[in-house]
Amino acid sequence: MAETVVYLLRQAETLPETGLENEAWDLSDEGRLQARDLAFKLNDLGITVIYSSPFKRAISTVKPIAEKLDLPVLLDEGFRELVATRDLLSPVEFQELTRKMWDDLTYSENGAESMRECQLRFMQSLNKIAKEHAGETILVCTHGAPLGAVLKVMDKGFGYDEWTKIKMPDVYKLVSNGTEGKWDKGYKY
């Protein structure tokens, strides 16, 4: 069976906007430049299908590469951001909350999604598209928390400190032979 390659892309730089729901936040000016740059950097990877979180900033990140490759952007709820709270937190409050969530993957506040729940939904969508597009090269645009959650599945040692090093944007490569998947840590974006 041919290898299936999945490139996991964290969305480009975003500026949270007071008064807008998390789902509606778009890219910053720098993020728009990053998205255009990504279109050139990812152009030669042989991408045959593009999936994205339905959040605006993720769609805006993959739009330039989708246009360059003349591919549609397929939306999948499984790749959406983990919304741990509806409050706009200060950087210190956000750090405290995310640290708790990484220390205990089942932790959530006020019934919000936990890291474990995020991991399960992401892996369900990832496994589904890997089967549907076996042997192809897939680009998935997602967000920091779900990306970290799936990397933890691939490497149990991946934790909070490694998660804080994921940049906006950043790209990770997963490879599946049909029976098992692995993180290609040798790939550098």
What does the pLDDT look like over 111-156, one tens digit per residue? 889 999 999 999 999 999 999 999 999 999 999 999 999 999 999 9
Each residue's pLDDT tens digit, 34-49: 999 999 999 999 999 9
Q: Which CATH number fits domain 4-177: 3.40.50.1240, 3.30.70.980, 1.25.40.10, 1.10.10.10?
A: 3.40.50.1240
Six token digits for residue 155: 């490497």
> Prior bond to 169 cis, omega within 30?
yes
Domain boundaries, the chain: 4-177
pLDDT for residue 17: 74
Burial grade of 183 (CB within 10 A; 0-12, 13-18, 19 or more): middle
Please list, in sequence order, all residues whose beta carbon lies within 8 angstroms of the beta carbon of residue 120, skipping any fewer than 6 positions away: none
Check whether 86 has a pLDDT greater than 70.
no
Please give the sequence-ordered ranges of beta strands (E in DSSP) within the chain, or none if there are none.
Answer: 4-10, 49-52, 73-75, 137-142, 170-176, 181-183
Each residue's pLDDT tens digit, 3-29: 999 999 999 999 877 777 878 889 999
